[in-house]
Chains A and B, each alone.
Chain A
Amino acid sequence: MQNSGINVLFEGSNFERLLGGLLVTMEIAFISIVIGTVLGIVMGLLRTLKSGPIRFVLRLYLETFRIIPILVWLYVVYFGFTPLLNVNISGELTAIIVFSLWGAAEIGDIVRGALESLPKHQVESGQALGLTYRQLYRHVLIPQAVRRMLPGSINLATRMIKTTSLVVLIGVVEVVKVGQQIIELGVIKAPAASFWVYGFIFILYFLVCYPLSRLSKRFERKWQN
Chain B
Amino acid sequence: MNLDWEFIVESLPLYGEAMWLTLKIAFWAILFSLIVGLLCSIVLYYKVKGISGIIVAYTELSRNTPLLVQLYFLYYGFTKMGLHMSEMTCAIVGMTFLGGGYMTEAFRGGIEAVSKTQMESGVSLGLSKVQLARYVILPQAFAISVPSLGANAIFLLKETSIVGAIALLDVMNVAKDLIGMYYKTAESLILLVLAYLVLLLPLSILLTWVERKVRYAEFGD
Residues of A within 8 A of B (CB): 5, 67-69, 71-72, 75-76, 79-80, 82-84, 158, 162-166, 168-169, 176, 179, 183, 191-199, 201-202, 205-206, 209-210, 213
Residue B196 lies at the interface, judged by CB distance under 8 Å to chain A? yes
CB-defined contacts of B189 to chain A, threshold 8 Å: 75-76, 79-80
Closest 8 CB pairs of A and B: A165-B66, A209-B64, A195-B77, A198-B73, A69-B161, A162-B66, A194-B76, A69-B158
Which residues B133-147 have CB closer than 8 A to chain A? none
Q: What 1/0 flags go to B37-78 for Cβ under 8 Å of A? A: 000000000000000000000001101111011101100111
CB–CB B185/A198 < 8 A: no
Q: Which residues of chain B have C-beta atoms less than 8 A from A82's C-beta? A: 185
Q: How far is the CA of A206 from the CA of B101 in the complex (A)?
A: 14
Chain A residues within 8 Å of B162, by CB: 71, 166
Q: Are A199 and B73 in contact (CB under 8 A)?
A: yes
**Which A residues are in CB contact (< 8 Å) with B193?**
68, 72, 76
Question: Which residues of chain A have C-beta atoms less than 8 A from B201's C-beta?
Answer: 67
Q: A69-B161, A195-B73, A209-B65 are in contact. List 20 more A-B contacts (CB 8 A).
A: A67-B204, A68-B200, A72-B172, A72-B192, A75-B192, A76-B189, A80-B185, A84-B1, A162-B64, A164-B66, A168-B68, A169-B165, A176-B68, A176-B69, A192-B80, A194-B76, A195-B80, A199-B77, A201-B69, A205-B65
Instruction: Give the distance in Å from the alpha carbon of A82 to the alpha carbon of B64 in the complex.
Output: 33
Nearest CB of chain A from residue B190's CB, rounded to whole Å = 9
- B contact residues vs A (CB 8 Å cutoff): 1, 60-61, 63-66, 68-70, 72-73, 76-78, 80-81, 158-159, 161-162, 165, 172, 175-176, 179, 185-186, 188-189, 192-193, 196-197, 200-201, 204
**In the complex, what residues of A have CB within 8 A of residue B80's CB?**
5, 191-195
Chain B residues lying within 8 Å of A195, measured Cβ to Cβ, are 73, 76-78, 80-81
Contact between chains at B66 and A205 (CB < 8 Å) = yes
A67 B196 Cβ-Cβ under 8 A = yes
17 contacts between A and B (CB under 8 A): A68-B196, A71-B172, A75-B175, A75-B189, A76-B189, A80-B189, A83-B186, A158-B64, A168-B68, A176-B69, A195-B77, A198-B73, A198-B77, A202-B69, A202-B73, A205-B64, A210-B64
* Bound form: Cα–Cα A163–B161 in Å: 12
Assembled-state Cα–Cα distance A79/B65 (Å): 27
Kindly list chain B residues whose C-beta atoms are within 8 Å of the C-beta of A194: 72, 76-77, 80
**Most chain A CB atoms below 10 A, which of B63, B80, B200:** B80
State how many angstroms separate the Cβ of A158 from the closest Cβ of chain B: 7
Bound-state CA distance A213–B201 (Å) is 29
CB distance from B123 to the nearest CB of A (A): 26
Taking CB as reference atom, which chain B residue is nearest A161? Answer: B66
In contact, B172 and A205 (Cβ under 8 angstroms) = no
* Chain B residues positioned under 8 Å from A197 (CB to CB): 77
Q: How far in angstroms is the closest Cβ of chain B from A161?
A: 8
- Do B161 and A72 touch (CB < 8 A)? yes
Min Cβ gap A79→B in Å is 5
B160 nearest in chain A by CB position = A69
- Chain B residues within an 8 Å CB radius of A68: 193, 196-197, 200
Select from chain B the residue with minimum beta-carbon distance to A4. Answer: B81
